[in-house]
Amino acid sequence: MNAVVTGGTRGIGRGIAEELLKNGFSVLVTSRNENGFDEMKSLYGDRVCFYPCDVSDVKSIEALVSFAEEKFGSVDVLVNNAGVAPRERRDILEITPDDFDFLLDINLKGTFFVSQKFVPLLTKKEKSRIVNISSMSAYTASVNRGEYCISKAGISMTTKLFAARLAEYGVSVIEVRPGIIETDMTSGVKEKYEKLISEGITPIKRMGQPEDIGRCVLSVAQGNFDFCTGTVIDCDGGFNVRIL
């Protein structure tokens, strides 16, 4: 089975790629920089490969698809994980059109066009899966990073749209919503989040780890959710539970 994981060199993407690799998948990881890939190569050998791609650039996505076609011929699982936080957290009354475009181009437009461009390789299989990594920010308002929340809410609709469009071709599309996960992205706000967790913001009192998300995605990739499409999996320590 062949998988493509965007942003697979670090953090959650790497956690996903490693769970797939440990369970027999061949995995193409992609990101803008190759940093971190050498270590993956030494652990998993020829079953893992890297191709550089900036998901905000459609030409770069097309080059990735050509590489994947040459390497694998077809794709069983596409994981849209690449994403960024705001370069600087700013109130929604102060963000600029540049801040907005930067975030939306990578997180939302990237997810949309990577999905669209991989359809021909996914539909070569009788059954294939797309997993979109969104966030609890898809439904949680953080006014100091509104453009991030909007990008993740957009991924939720992208999931529904592709689920509706691709079911007839045997492609399931699932959204995985991580909660607070310990990665480079959250390193600058780790103390703040740890305090919130200790105060009870999540019923399960720990930060998530990349492998927590990796195991959810693995289960989808292995076909355990094949009668589900457009479905959301909250992998968030219970953040989604309203408590009275």
By CB under 6 A, name the binding residues for ligand NDP: 6-7, 9-13, 31-33, 53-56, 81-84, 106, 133, 135, 178, 180-181, 183-186
Joined tokens for residue 203: 């019923």
Residue 168 C-beta: closest distance to ligand NDP, Å: 28
Residue 236 C-beta: closest distance to ligand NDP, Å: 8
Residue 12 or 125 having the CB closest to ligand NDP = 12
Distance CA 32, CA 55 (A): 8
In this structure, is the dihedral angle defined by the CA atoms of residues 111, 114, 120 and 122, taken in order, positive or negative? negative
Contact between 210 and 15 under an 8 Å Cβ cutoff? The reply is yes
Neighbour order of strands in the sheet with 128-133: 48-52, 26-31, 2-6, 77-80, 128-133, 171-178, 231-235
Instruction: Say which of 44, 51, 139, 148 is annotated catalytic.
Output: 148
Residue 176 C-beta: closest distance to ligand NDP, Å: 9
Residue 148 annotated as catalytic: yes
Distance CA 153, CA 136 (A): 9
Residue 208 C-beta: closest distance to ligand NDP, Å: 7
Residue 119 or 197 having the CB closest to ligand NDP = 197
Residue 38 or 226 having the CB closest to ligand NDP = 38
- CA dihedral (162, 174, 16, 239) in degrees, to 10, reads 130
Residue 151 or 229 having the CB closest to ligand NDP = 151
Closest to 4 (Cα-Cα) out of 108, 111, 103 = 111
Q: Which residues are catalytic?
A: 148
